[in-house]
Amino acid sequence: TQLLEQSPQFLSIQEGENLTVYCNSSSVFSSLQWYRQEPGEGPVLLVTVVTGGEVKKLKRLTFQFGDARKDSSLHITAAQPGDTGLYLCAGVGNSGYALNFGKGTSLLVTP
Amino acid sequence: DAGITQSPRHKVTETGTPVTLRCHQTENHRYMYWYRQDPGHGLRLIHYSYGVKDTDKGEVSDGYSVSRSKTEDFLLTLESATSSQTSVYFCAISEGGAATAQYFGPGTRLTVT
């Protein structure tokens, strides 16, 4: 199994602060996906990064795929309470059919 | 939102009883997946399907079986439930396999007493 390590595990910040969460692996992935999960719901896809070095922006969220395609980061600018949730990264496993998920970063943004 | 429903949404059952969870989609997606989510472990793949009657094991398949007789339905069966199978179970679908977006259902919270 290709492991994805996410850090930090927990993050509690105040509204307006910036933050970065990380997704690292010793394996190369053809692509990585980022999901956000709110309590009591299933994960929802935010973005897919495919090319090494790629940067994608989704409003205040910036996603980066490492040059070697082994790691990725998610930066949130001026966090809002609505950003609260569990952020998961996932990469295609060796089977090619299924995703391997990291354990996630649990983010709490307080007003 | 992708049309995925899971039933039941909550279930409490006793150790040793069989349990079947149902995932139903209206998107006609080829791929369907069952995951379990536990604190400290994240999302782990149980089984997946890449077509009608085509299924394969995931990372944590012991104690679980699946069936897919129609494109829209993917059933997960716990033949004899154990307390270690207490978890939240998510179904997901995708159109083109793992590299494409996966859409998740709302989850089923299963408690085995």
What pLDDT, in 10s, does the model give residues A20-53?
999 999 988 888 999 999 999 999 999 999 899 9
Section B57-75 average pLDDT? 96
Given CB atoms, is B39 within the 8 Å cutoff of chain A?
no
Q: In the prediction, which pLDDT does A92 show?
A: 83
Given CB atoms, is A85 within the 8 Å cutoff of chain B?
no
Asked whether B48 and B58 are in contact (CB, 8 A), the reply is: yes
Give the torsion through C-alpha atoms of A103, B33, A34, A86, to 10 deg. Answer: -50
Rounded Cα–Cα distance for residues A6 and B108 (Å): 25
Contacts of B33 in chain A (CB under 8 A): 98
Higher pLDDT, B42 or A8: A8
Task: Put residue A95 in one of left, alpha, beta given phi > 0 → left and psi -120 to 50 → alpha.
Answer: alpha
Decide if B40 and A103 are in contact by the 8 Å CB cutoff: yes
Higher pLDDT, B42 or A111: A111
Q: In the prediction, which pLDDT does B1 show?
A: 55
Asked whether B101 and B2 are in contact (CB, 8 A), the reply is: no
Q: In the prediction, which pLDDT does B9 show?
A: 97
pLDDT at B98 over 90: no
Decide if B98 and A93 are in contact by the 8 Å CB cutoff: yes
Section B79-106 average pLDDT? 92
- What is the average pLDDT score of chain A? 93
- DSSP letter assigned to residue B60: T
pLDDT at A99 over 90: no
Q: Using alpha carbons, list the distances in angstroms from residue A73 to A7, A15, A67, B6.
A: 10, 20, 12, 32
Q: In the prediction, which pLDDT does B41 show?
A: 86
pLDDT at A95 over 70: no
Closest CA to A43 of A96, A99, A110, A109: A99
Rounded Cα–Cα distance for residues A37 and A103 (Å): 12
pLDDT band at B42 (very low <50, low <70, confident <90, very high): confident
pLDDT at B33 over 90: yes
pLDDT at A97 over 90: no
Q: Which residues lie closer than 8 Å to B62 by C-beta, 6 or more apart?
A: none
Closest CA to A16 of A82, A79, A107: A79
pLDDT band at B101 (very low <50, low <70, confident <90, very high): confident
pLDDT band at A19 (very low <50, low <70, confident <90, very high): very high
Chain B residue with minimal CA distance to A38?
B106
Measure CA A75 to chain center: 9
Closest CA to A90 of B96, B55, B42: B42
Give the number of C-alpha atoms closer than 13 A to the C-alpha of residue B76, restricted to the C-beta side. 35
Contacts of B39 in chain A (CB under 8 A): none
pLDDT band at B2 (very low <50, low <70, confident <90, very high): low
Decide if A33 and B101 are in contact by the 8 Å CB cutoff: yes
Identity (one letter) of the amino acid at A45?
L
Rounded Cα–Cα distance for residues A6 and A20 (Å): 11
Section B74-94 average pLDDT? 97
